[in-house]
Amino acid sequence: MWTKRRVVQDLLQGRALQTARPDAEAFAPTNIALIKYWGKRDGVLNLPVTSSVSIALPSRGAWTRIRELPGCAQDEITLNGSPVEATASFAQRLSAHLDLFRPNKHTGYGVSTTINIPVAAGVASSACGFAALTFALDRLYGWGCSKSELSILARLGSGSACRSLWNGWVEWQCGDQADGRDSFAVPLAVRPWPELRIGLLLLNTGEKSLGSREAMQRTVETSPLFSDWPQQVERDLPQLKHALATQDFTLLGTVAEANADAMHACMRSARPAIEYSGASTQAAQATVRRLRQAGVPVFYTQDAGPNLKLLFLAEHAAEVQEAFASLDIVHPFKQEEFA
């Protein structure tokens, strides 16, 4: 039976230095999955049932600074400049991840994170948060981990975090080993797509009611549709890769939207049903479909929250922005936007 601690010890064997640098900092971009990760084959190590593919948002993510606090039993965590109570779920998840690396129980960490996307609203704040934290730990202790190793370590904090160590298109290869050694992300070797735009449509930025961990578990255990999900991904993944290789936007959007809809259908058929869409989500989805009927190629994807991410090309940005006044448009391949 593999525990997170055993995976960490194995991976960092002979590498974890006792003396930390005074402090270290790292940035990780957030990522939006177009082929979703939904369902774990191992809930402890966050090993997925299927592979998934995402695009990074290079200008949106987490900047994390970390230092050791010797003789301090508790971590001191600040988020966007404000201290976070140790009892808050954000602090508890971070401290649980830090426990895997703590030299002893008398050492706390000072962690200061700035995240420029809403936290815990299904906009992938945990992905960039855990990736930046893991990356910063690597720098603090001078482990010299490769990106694939960091991807494995970040996955232990949050599955989707393993995709947040690169810009551009990334595939998380699900792997099949019990210790998850072969379950990490890799950048996809496809040419950049400078015309691609991602629109963040924030419809409700309050904390989500049900975390992705519980929602995934309930879906796997109770949804009669979930048995088809791996086949759905097996069909969608090669199509999406083909769309990326040929820069076929309609195919990309069609596959991504259908994949997100299928994930939510699985959740809706869970017992009790899981519904992340509010009235504003459904209205926005209808507007996207209406725009398409009117000849504007725009598609949506949706994660474990009510907000949508829209996919479109630069030439249609004005029409999409007109339909969604509050849309925050990100250029995933614009070098100047890379943090």
- The nearer residue to ligand PMV, 162 or 320, going by C-beta atoms, is 162
Residues 6+ apart with CB under 8 A from 307: 118, 121, 122, 123, 200, 201, 202, 203, 204, 205, 281
* Least distance CB 91 / ligand PMV (angstroms): 17
Residues in contact with ligand PMV, total (CB under 6 A)?
13
Q: Single out the residue of 328, 201, 312 nearest to residue 253, CA to CA.
A: 312
Does residue number 212 form part of the binding site for ligand PMV (CB under 6 A)? yes
Does residue number 33 form part of the binding site for ligand PMV (CB under 6 A)? yes
Q: Which residues pair with 12 in a beta bridge?
A: none
Does residue number 160 form part of the binding site for ligand PMV (CB under 6 A)? yes
Instruction: Give the separation between CA 204 and CA 316, rounded to whole angstroms.
Output: 25
* Least distance CB 69 / ligand PMV (angstroms): 28
Q: Which two tokens stand for residue 259?
A: 């994949």
Does residue number 303 form part of the binding site for ligand PMV (CB under 6 A)? yes
Q: Taking contact as CB under 6 A, which single stretch among the options 158-166, 224-232, 284-292, 293-301 is the one that binds ligand PMV?
A: 158-166
- Give the three-state DSSP class for 284: helix
- The nearer residue to ligand PMV, 212 or 223, going by C-beta atoms, is 212
- Residues numbered 40 to 79 that lie near ligand PMV (CB under 6 A) are 52
- The nearer residue to ligand PMV, 64 or 158, going by C-beta atoms, is 158
Per-residue H/E/C for 86-153: CCCHHHHHHHHHHHCCCCCCCEEEEEEEEECCCCCCCCCHHHHHHHHHHHHHHHHHCCCCCHHHHHHH
Q: Which of 29, 39, 159, 253 binds ligand PMV (CB under 6 A)?
A: 159
The CA-atom distances, in angstroms, between 323 and each of 282, 294, 320 are 15, 12, 5
* Least distance CB 149 / ligand PMV (angstroms): 18
Q: How many residues does the chain have?
A: 339
- Determine the straight-line distance between the first and last CA of the chain, rounded to whole angstroms: 39
Q: Give, as one character, the DSSP assignment of residue 159.
A: G
Q: Which residues pair with 76 in a beta bridge?
A: 110
- The nearer residue to ligand PMV, 158 or 223, going by C-beta atoms, is 158
Q: Which of 24, 28, 29, 36 binds ligand PMV (CB under 6 A)?
A: 36
* Least distance CB 146 / ligand PMV (angstroms): 21
Q: Which of 30, 50, 112, 126 binds ligand PMV (CB under 6 A)?
A: 126
Q: Taking contact as CB under 6 A, which single stretch among the options 13-21, 29-37, 105-113, 226-234 is the one that binds ligand PMV?
A: 29-37
Give, for 263, the enclosing helix (H) or strand (E).
helix 249-268
* Least distance CB 242 / ligand PMV (angstroms): 20
Q: Taking contact as CB under 6 A, which single stretch among the options 30-38, 91-99, 109-117, 187-195 is the one that binds ligand PMV?
A: 30-38
Question: Residue 122 in contact with residue 107, Cβ under 8 Å?
Answer: no
Instruction: Give the separation between CA 100 and CA 3, rounded to whole angstroms.
Output: 10
- Residues numbered 304 to 323 that lie near ligand PMV (CB under 6 A) are 304
Instruction: Give the separation between CA 267 and CA 224, rounded to whole angstroms.
Output: 10
- The nearer residue to ligand PMV, 129 or 199, going by C-beta atoms, is 129
- The nearer residue to ligand PMV, 127 or 150, going by C-beta atoms, is 127
Interface contacts to ligand PMV, rule CB under 6 A: 33, 36-37, 52, 126-127, 158-160, 212-213, 303-304
